[in-house]
Amino acid sequence: MQLRSDAVRCGTARAPHRSLLKADGITDEEMERPLVAVFNSRNDIIPGHNNLDKIAEAVKAGIYMAGGVPFEISTIGVCDGIAMNHDGMHYSLVSREVIADSLECAVQGHAFDALVCIPNCDKIVPGMLLGALRVNIPTVFVSGGPMLAGKQPGGCGPTTDLNTLFDGAAQVMNGTMTEAELKYYEDTACPTCGSCSGMFTANSMNCLCEALGIALPGNGTVPAVYSERIRLAKHAGMKVMELLEKGVCARDIVSEAAIKNAMECDMAFGGSTNTVLHLTAIAREAGHPITMDDWDAASARTPHLVKLQPSGPRPLSDLYEVGGVPVVMHELDRLGLIDRSAVTCMGPMEEYLRACTKPADGEVCRTHDNPFSPVGALKVLHGNIAPDGAIVKKSAVDPSMLCHTGPARCFDSEEEACAAINAGKIVAGDVVVIRYEGPKGGPGMREMLTPTSSISGMGLSKSVALITDGRFSGATKGPAVGHVSPEAAAGGPIALIEEGDSVTVDIEGGALTLGVNFKTYKAVCKRTASGVLPVLVTMGSLLIVAYIMQSSSTGMMNLLASDIAAVVGRFYPAAAVLIGSSGAFITGTGLGSNIMFAQMHIDAAASLGMNPITIFAGQNAGASLGNLICPNNTVAACATVDQVGNESDVMKKTFKAFAIILVLYMVLAMLYTCVLFPNFGM
């Protein structure tokens, strides 16, 4: 079998390369084997990664047992929980791209034959998936697994997790929890290594790796501290060697069918809203792009079968106990929602379903005929606030808040919103609006777990909604609508919401709308008119001047025509384009320019014996072009879209394009008048 790694270890010319490999301890015998990258995100600070050294050793053992030579390579990771609610969150989403780039560089730079990815936690899973799709070699994913949930004092009652602490901090401020109680949860809510114990972003993405077919069954749900996780890692190492032998690569697995299956599973088990962001990027990288309409359609046809934290009281380990992701896929398959044409690392989807599933238990995973909801856990919203869409985790919203109308409380940063919430300035009925936290405005699209948890801790999760052009942690619950698009920094309507405006969040109806009363509408019209009126007066005055200039009583046009014709001669068609654009520059309209100079061109054409039709066509083309750089038009446009003060920048950006097109038009005018149509219409 021809291997990619032959490029670095075969032939006389590769003696230096082999010498470097031997410096790593590689023997001549190993030099004949496939070289496999073990891409590990292990570090000391992320609790989900503390065990990844053991996972990596198990993976390498599996690879070696199956006849490969493993090489471990490290990448970065950011813990979203630690990065939350300070400048560190600006770097979280960005890390996804850094990880993808680093994987591509390492794998391509060393010509590896196959790849095992060891992620855990939020941006690392999608980052590695994006990189794996770029290099497109046989690939298997095996995560570090979820942590076990914390317990209440005495071991009774609902389990606890990281979200307990975020809510608890606000509860202390609200007087509904003591500092001592908070300290207990601080010490116990995250009791083991692993990704946080609910169906938060990390666990959502690790479960979706199973649904995509690029990870073995159990990848998303086997707890991090179980010995089964180590055995799973060994099998992942062996499995990638099997894929290499069969020639099955990452893009063969992450197909259009696999992406559809992952979307269905996401809706069924109520994944994080971040999965919409990540799976959309993964689908595009795989060559099978999906849209918000596709997500909306998946939500409409897919029942919600699993209700884990934060949507319900159960930790992810409960899903593991009843069979994990394969059980969910089996139930969806009974509804015909799983595309069996997909290929998994275990083989054809049909074989996978037959070999890896058992019936749903009916409680942790509901049966297809008795779902928690007949529609998916995530919901896409549109409206005049979000023309390009927004997303909400519907399953984590109290039924009483599925449709809510209230006054907008506007904040231009997460910090401003948190300060107001914690100070008791947000009351029942309000709609908190946090903007300028999108990919461009943040920058980096920060997660808003702290404000949503503060709302919950203040006892307002059933009476206050929140919308943002930022995003949310998978731990977020309540009527929290994120990813509002276009974002405020890109000129999205969310930037126009004013304090006290009526905002409706209709999750059931899929609408996010701003209600504008007559008083507000009148004020906007008045403000716009005051900005545009001076421009209109100026343009009107210039049109009057144009009328006077072309009047036969003044003779101004006849004089200009004879003078210009005498200077430019046979180049008059090009001059007509320049004159036309100058007229539009002065008057602000193509019509004004034509009124000003039409008679002049007729007189000049007659004196030069040229076709007046093609000359006037050049005038008209130039007049249309001159509108691009007309100061009046620029001022009017900037006043209309609330960009007063940026006129100079707009003019500079448009002038270069104007100049290039102007020269082109002048050349074409000469060609048409003097070569192609010299007698047209004469």
Q: In terms of Cα–Cα distance, which of 76, 153, 160 is closest to 121? A: 76
Q: Burial code of 72-96, b = ≥16 C-beta within 10 A, e = fewer?
A: bbbbebbbbbebbbeeebebbbbbb
Three-state SS at 446 = coil
Query: Strand 139-141 and strand 403-411: pairing?
Result: unpaired
Enzyme catalytic residues: 473
Specify the DSSP class assigned to residue 371.
Answer: -
Q: In terms of Cα–Cα distance, which of 442, 118, 448, 391 is closest to 275? A: 391
Q: How far is CA 542 from CA 539, 584, 593, in A?
A: 5, 10, 10
State the amino acid at position 682 in one-letter form.
M
The number of helix segments (H) and strand segments (E) in the chain equals: 26, 14
Query: Strand 139-141 and strand 343-344: pairing?
Result: unpaired
**Partners of 140 in the β-ladder:** 116
Q: Per the structure block, which two tokens stand in for 537?
A: 């007066």
Contacts of 310 (CB under 8 A, 6+ apart): 163, 198, 199, 200, 393, 396, 474, 475, 476, 477
Q: Are 113 and 191 in contact (CB under 8 A)?
A: no
Q: What backbone torsions phi and psi does residue 393 show, to the nearest 5 degrees?
A: -85, 90
CA dihedral sign of residues 280, 282, 284, 286? negative
DSSP-H helix ranges across 222-372: 227-246, 250-253, 256-269, 274-285, 292-301, 316-321, 325-334, 349-356
Q: Per the structure block, which two tokens stand in for 611?
A: 């076709």
- The 3 state secondary structure assigned to 656-676 is HHHHHHHHHHHHHHHHHHHHH
> Which residue has 């590695």 as its token pair?
128
Q: Burial code of 553-565, b = ≥16 C-beta within 10 A, e = fewer?
A: eeebbeebbeebb
How far apart, in whole angstroms, are the C-alpha atoms of residue 182 and residue 509? 38
User: For residue 333, how many other CB atoms are within 10 A of its CB?
Assistant: 20
DSSP-H helix ranges across 67-161: 80-83, 92-110, 124-135
How far apart, in whole angstroms, are the C-alpha atoms of residue 357 and residue 329? 8
State the amino acid at position 478 in one-letter form.
G
How far apart, in whole angstroms, are the C-alpha atoms of residue 187 and residue 182? 9
Contacts of 86 (CB under 8 A, 6+ apart): none
